[in-house]
């Protein structure tokens, strides 16, 4: 499996993601700088977490308009798998690859801790090695992870089983609607999520709860 990780100014989780991908898949990802205009030939592109452009203007808004995003959007429309984590979720949502928006946490504080995630859909390219309904631990670190959308969009997401992850056991850290922690697009090739699964895949992390997510990429 060939993958690429996009690097923006201010992004700080690209190395974590690259290590996770290489550790589990056995292939070293390409690092793609935001000013490049074309992706290498890959099966997956990951937009990682961090604070692109210092979160100025609006989280993900500037990065979503970077040169490389034009090619990512075009190839996503043709079926390329795209995974956005935390700030990456914000970026791909700002870029129009997913519906809704990520806004300030309801309590207006930055949160950095562990939450419980419930796997709502195990038929995606990132969850096929998981059990539907499984609850796993996963770290978070964000100030604007409160997922919102209009009532009709929410109805469609729920009806079409496009909510991939929810915060479980009362651990919703940001006020997201319906405890939504991650969603998938209608075509099934773009996933965005706020938690950081790349930081819980090996024993030194304390737990390996999220390793099957990366194993799912290989199976897909």
pLDDT in tens, 84-103: 999 999 999 999 999 999 99
Average pLDDT, the chain: 97
pLDDT, one tens digit per residue, over 153-209 is 999 999 999 999 999 999 999 999 999 999 999 999 999 999 999 999 999 999 999
Element (H, E) at 30: strand 30-33
Percent of the chain with pLDDT over 90: 98
CATH of the domain at 181: 3.40.50.880
Catalytic center residues: 86, 196, 198
**CA-CA distance, 190 to 111, in Å (whole number)?**
25
In tens, the pLDDT along 14-25 reads 999 999 999 999
Number of domains comprising the chain: 1
What percentage of the chain reaches a pLDDT higher than 70? Answer: 100
Domain boundaries, position 165: 3-219
Q: Is the pTM of this model over 0.85?
A: yes
Q: Is the dihedral of CA 188, 152, 120, 116 positive or negative?
A: positive
Separation of alpha carbons 36 and 41, rounded Å: 14
Confidence label for 57 from pLDDT (cuts 50, 70 and 90): confident
Per-residue pLDDT of 134-157, as tens digits, reads: 999 999 999 999 999 999 999 999
> Pseudo-torsion of CA 97, 163, 5, 39, nearest 10°?
-30
């Amino acid at each position: 499996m060939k993958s690429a990780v996009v690097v923006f100014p201010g992004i700080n989780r690209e190395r974590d993601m690259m290590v996770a991908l290489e550790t589990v898949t056995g292939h070293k990802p390409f690092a793609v700088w935001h000013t490049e205009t074309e992706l290498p030939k890959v099966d997956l592109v990951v937009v990682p977490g961090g604070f692109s452009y210092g979160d100025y203007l609006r989280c993900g808004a500037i990065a979503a308009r970077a040169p490389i995003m034009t090619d990512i959007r075009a190839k996503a429309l043709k079926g390329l798998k795209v995974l956005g984590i935390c700030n990456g979720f914000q970026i791909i949502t700002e870029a129009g690859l997913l519906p809704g928006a990520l806004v300030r946490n309801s309590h207006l504080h930055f949160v950095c801790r562990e939450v419980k995630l419930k796997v709502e859909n195990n038929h995606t390219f990132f969850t096929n090695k998981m059990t539907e309904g499984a609850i796993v631990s996963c770290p978070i670190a964000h100030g604007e992870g409160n997922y919102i959308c209009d009532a009709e969009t929410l109805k469609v997401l729920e009806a079409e089983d496009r909510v991939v992850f929810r915060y479980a056991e009362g651990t919703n850290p940001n006020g997201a609607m319906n405890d939504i922690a991650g969603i998938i697009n209608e075509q099934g090739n773009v996933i965005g999520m706020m938690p950081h699964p790349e930081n819980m895949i090996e024993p030194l992390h304390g737990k390996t709860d999220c390793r099957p997510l990366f194993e799912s990429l290989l199976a897909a």
